[in-house]
Every structure is written in structure tokens, then in C-alpha cells.
Structure 1
Amino acid sequence: MEAFLTSTAVVALAEIGDKTMLLAIVLAARFKRPLPIVLGILFATLANHAFAAFLGEVASFLLDGIWFRYLVAASFIVMAAWTLVPDKLDEDETPKPARFGAFLTTLVAFFLVEMGDKTQVATVALGAQFQSVLIVTAGTTLGMMIANVPAVFLGNALIARIPLGAVRAAAALLFLAVGVWLLLETAGWL
């Protein structure tokens, strides 16, 4: 349960204000068809995060050792700093929706935009920490949906009311807490 709840919380907080959340708003405004967009986000996230969690779990088995646990702890601390940097959606990342429809455009766009994104990197670290592809994928996917489904339905009104700086700070503190906790646990202090 710890792996699921931690994965959900980390990704839900990190995703708020992220470029994929901005992409959800852009797609919702262009297509005005929320269900295919939500399903596209769901399937893209499942594929992307399952791969990331698998990569993290495999890395934890291949690179088993105290130094690897310190590396995972450090990655969470680095993610804390990265989370404080606001994202923006670049013009060249905005999909051209008229060609493939809402679902396929969302599926492809979310899968590609999520590559190398902080939530994907966090999923790799969570997979390494908890060594459970299924539970980490379920948690991170739920976190993505918690952040992005309201963005699809409420869009710009939501962004205008949420203090993104405070959300980024909370997400950074969560990443930092997980990193420090893992660091202390690895050092044998917990």
C-alpha cells in the first residue's frame, strides 16, 4: 500500500502545472471531447509509466548494492529541485489535432511529451525503490489522472485558481522527504 500511495501522491503533485497538464488543457480546448482525451491520457500513461517502472525495477536488480540505493535517494532529492522549475508547453510540442482525432492525438502526444519528463523519471525512481512494476504503475497512473482529468474538464479556470508555486513547493517537499527518508534508511539510521 505504501508503494501505491507514495507513487500516487508524488506524481499527482509533480504533475500539477507540468507540460502534460498544459497539453491536456490545449487538447480539451481544441477538441471539446473530454472522454477520448481522458482515455488517451490513461492509455498513454499506462504504457509510458509501465515501461518506466519496469526500467526502475530491472535497474534495482541489476545494480543491487548500497551505492545504488544512495543513487535512488539522490535522484529523489534532485527531483525535488527539478519540480520547483515551472514547465511551459512549447509551440512545436503542440499537436496538430485535425488529422487523427481526439483519442489518437492525445495518446501519441501524451506518450511522447511524457518521455524524459519529471514524472517519468520519478516513476523510474519509484520502480527502483519499491520494485513493483504493477503497483508503481497503478499509483503513478492514478496520480496522472488526478492531476489531468480536472484539467481536461476545467482547463484554464483551474490553472487560474491553483497557486502553482505552492503546489510545486509541496511536490518538491514530498520528493525531498522521500529522498531523505531513503537516504537515512540506507545509512541504517531508520
Structure 2
Amino acid sequence: MDDFFVATAIATGVVVAAELGDKSQLMALTFATRYRPAVVLAAVAVATALLNLASVLLGAAVGSALPTTAVGVVAGLLFVGFGVWTLRPGAEEGGAQEEDGPARAGRSAFVTVLVSFLLAELGDKTMLATITLAARDAGLAQVAGTWLGATIGMVVASALAIVVGAYVGTRLPERAVRLGAGALFVLLGLWLLVETLVLG
């Protein structure tokens, strides 16, 4: 049991440190200006849990074979497209929520955040760090601890950004939030494309 807690603590610390100031925090902050913080956090938690489960199960050998270039390009284009969609006239969130109802709007937001995080984080340094930690500690307790710790680390780092995003979203006019969020999504998309095609 000690191995489990040690692995959890190490993975949590590594992921929190890796995510501070990373694009994942900026994504969480941006989504929190548009959607309810609880929905964003839940989607981030599910996406992170799924990715980390894949990371610890696949191991370092399979991880190196991931088509990270293709995934990075798709994720970058997705964010640019989402940014343009957010910037379009009449993209205010309030009207769509009233027409479709809060339950449907919540599901739509959850799926949007979930898919975005899955694509953006697939092959990212956090996933590779989790694979490395899991490959180093091959025992079941260590692998389970690594999965839990990496998931907790990402959720903690994202929660910090979501709090800021929710605060900004309620303090600024809706038009300013929409324009700012759209611009951030476009920048995130360009960042992902440059990171994948130029720096990768």
C-alpha cells in the first residue's frame, strides 16, 4: 500500500508542475469563461482519467508509436475552428441555452470540453510523463497510484484555471468574454499547430 501512495504523490507532483502555465490550464480557463465551471471540471476529469488509464496501460513502447503529428494537427485545427465559431456574430451563449434548455446545453458543453482535452492532451508531455512513470514502476500498486496521481494532478491544475476563468466570465460583459475566448481558442489552435509541425 505504501507503493501506491508514493506513486500517487509522485505522479500528482509531476503533473501539477508540468501543467502550471501549460496550454491545458489556458484551455480550462477559456472554457470556464463560456461554460459552467462544474461542467468544465467534470469533462476535464473524465478526459484526464481516460488518457491516464491509456498511458499506464500502453506503456512507453506503445506511447512512442502514437501518431502525435496527426493528432496535434487535428487538435490545432479544432481549436482554430472553435475560436472562429465563438467569434461569429450571434454566438452569445445565453440564447442557445434558453432555446435548447440547460440540460442539453450542459451536455453539449461537456462533450465539447471532453473531446477538446482528449485531442489536445493525446501525446502531450503530461501523457508521456505518465507513461514513463508507469513504465518505471511496473507493479500493480505503482501503476494504479500513477494513474490516480496523474489524474488528480491534472484536475488540480485545471481547477485553478477554471476558478480564474469563472471569475473573469462573471465580471466582464458577455461580448468581451466571447471575443476574448474566441481569440484564445484561435491562439491555442495556432500554438498546437506550431508545436506539432515546427517544434515537434
TM-score w.r.t. length of structure 2: 0.57
Alignment of 1:111 with 2:114, yes or no, is no
Match in the other structure for 1:122:
129
Match of 1:145 among 127, 152, 155: 155
Alignment of 1:155 with 2:159, yes or no, is no
Alignment of 1:12 with 2:16, yes or no, is yes
Aligned amino acid, residue 147 of structure 1: A
TM-score w.r.t. length of structure 1: 0.60
User: Shift of the alpha carbon at 1:135?
Assistant: 1.3
User: Shift of the alpha carbon at 1:102?
Assistant: 1.6
Match of 1:134 among 139, 144, 156: 144
User: Shift of the alpha carbon at 1:143?
Assistant: 0.4
Aligned amino acid, residue 41 of structure 1: V
User: Shift of the alpha carbon at 1:155?
Assistant: 3.0
Distance 2:29 2:162 in 1: 5
Match in the other structure for 1:161:
none
Equivalences, count? 128
Distance 1:153 1:143 in 2: 16
More helix by share: 2
Query: Could you tell me whether the CA contact under 8 Å between 2:15 and 2:153 is conserved in 1?
Result: yes
Q: Secondary structure at the match of 1:17?
A: coil
Runs (5+) with no aligned partner, structure 1: 63-88, 159-190
User: Shift of the alpha carbon at 1:156?
Assistant: 9.1
Q: Secondary structure at the match of 1:116?
A: coil
Match of 1:102 among 83, 86, 109: 109
Match of 2:53 among 50, 53, 63: 50
The superposition leaves residues 48-68 of structure 1 with CA deviations (integer Å, 9 ceiling, x where unpaired) of 0110111227x5xx9xxxxxx
Over aligned residue pairs, what C-alpha RMSD do you find? Answer: 2.8
Distance 1:138 1:150 in 2: 19
Runs (5+) with no aligned partner, structure 2: 63-74, 87-92, 94-104, 169-200
Which protein is bigger by CA-based radius of gyration?
Answer: 2
Distance 1:130 1:102 in 2: 36
Aligned amino acid, residue 93 of structure 1: F
Percentage identity across aligned positions?
A: 34
